[in-house]
Amino acid sequence: PPEPGRPYRVVLLGASGVGKTAFASIFAGAADSMDSDDCELSGDEMCEKTIEVDGESAAVTLLDTWDTETDKRAQECHAQTGDAYLLLYSITDRASFIRASELRITLRRFRPAQHTPIILVGNKCDLVRRREVSVNDGRTCAAVFDCKFIETSAAMQHNVWEAFRGIVRQLRLRRDSE
Ligand code: GDP
């Protein structure tokens, strides 16, 4: 569990091309944040900022992982460093949905404690005509994996902050239950 005062570490996971960079850019941009200056996304692709959720501020460090498919060590490392995970797939890409399931299993292997907050995120929901994964598939998968579910569009900035706020709410619930 995170020690008090330390920012929550939220990790973006998912196949390449699903929208992780787009999510990180929205987070890094000042749009919905209390910080006046944008933070740089560089090197390790992480960004720390304080966001307001339900009238209470929360310090969050967002880690944008590059494609870890080929790098098992990086996978294990990410599976151990996060306090919470946004597990992304693209609703236009069935393979990325399957990849999200695999990543969920990897997480469970390295994080046997049940309380790691995870949200399954079906991104690109603006691309309705290219949909390969139904809302129901996403919801069912999340139920099986015992995590929350949301569909988003980074392109339309739809539900992205809702996903960030959702993960903070789950982190708080876990903190309050300890
Ligand atoms: P990453 O490899 O997971 O970091 O994916 P990117 O963030 O680089 O996104 C891959 C491509 O999908 C880019 O061309 C993005 O502009 C596009 N993209 C990301 N999110 C969305 C979305 O919600 N809707 C649409 N239409 N395109 C998106």
Is 99 touching ligand 1 by the criterion CB < 6 Å? no
Listed in sequence order, the residues at least 6 apart from 50 whose beta carbon sits closer than 8 Å to its beta carbon are 33, 34, 35, 57, 58, 59, 60
pLDDT tens digit sequence for 72-129: 777 677 777 889 999 999 999 999 999 999 999 988 888 766 689 999 999 999 999 9
Whole-number Å distance, alpha carbon 84 to ligand 1 midpoint, is 22
Distance of CA 141 to the CA centre of its chain: 16
d(CA 47, ligand 1 centre) in Å: 19
What separation, in Å, do the N-terminal and C-terminal C-alpha atoms of the chain show? 9
Mean pLDDT across 13-38 = 77
The pLDDT of 42-46, averaged and rounded, is 57
pTM of the model: 0.90
Among residues 17, 108, 32, 106, the alpha carbon closest in space to that of 67 is found at 17
Q: How far, in Å, is the centroid of ligand 1 from the Cα of 90?
A: 9
Nearest 5 degrees, angle CA 141-CA 12-CA 99?
Answer: 40
User: For the sheet containing 46-53, what is the strand order?
Assistant: 46-53, 56-64, 8-14, 84-90, 118-123, 148-151
The beta-strand segments (E) located in the chain are: 8-14, 46-53, 56-64, 84-90, 118-123, 148-151
Q: Quote the DSSP letter at residue 130.
A: G
Pocket flag, ligand 1, residue 53 (CB < 6 Å): no
| pLDDT for residue 4 | 62
| Rounded-to-integer distance, Cα 100 and Cα 148, Å | 13
Examine the pLDDT at 69 and tell me if it is beyond 70: no
pLDDT at 130: 98
Q: Which of 11, 12, 20 to mutate to test the pocket of ligand 1 (most atoms within 8 A of CB)?
A: 20
Q: Is the pLDDT of residue 43 over 60?
A: no
Question: Half-sphere exposure of 126 toward its Cβ, with a 13 Å CA cutoff?
Answer: 11
Ligand 1 in reach of 16 Cβ (< 6 A)? yes
Instruction: Compute how many other C-beta atoms are within 10 angstroms of the C-beta atom of residue 1.
Output: 10
Amino acid residing at 47:
C
Binding site membership of 157 for ligand 1 (Cβ less than 6 Å): no
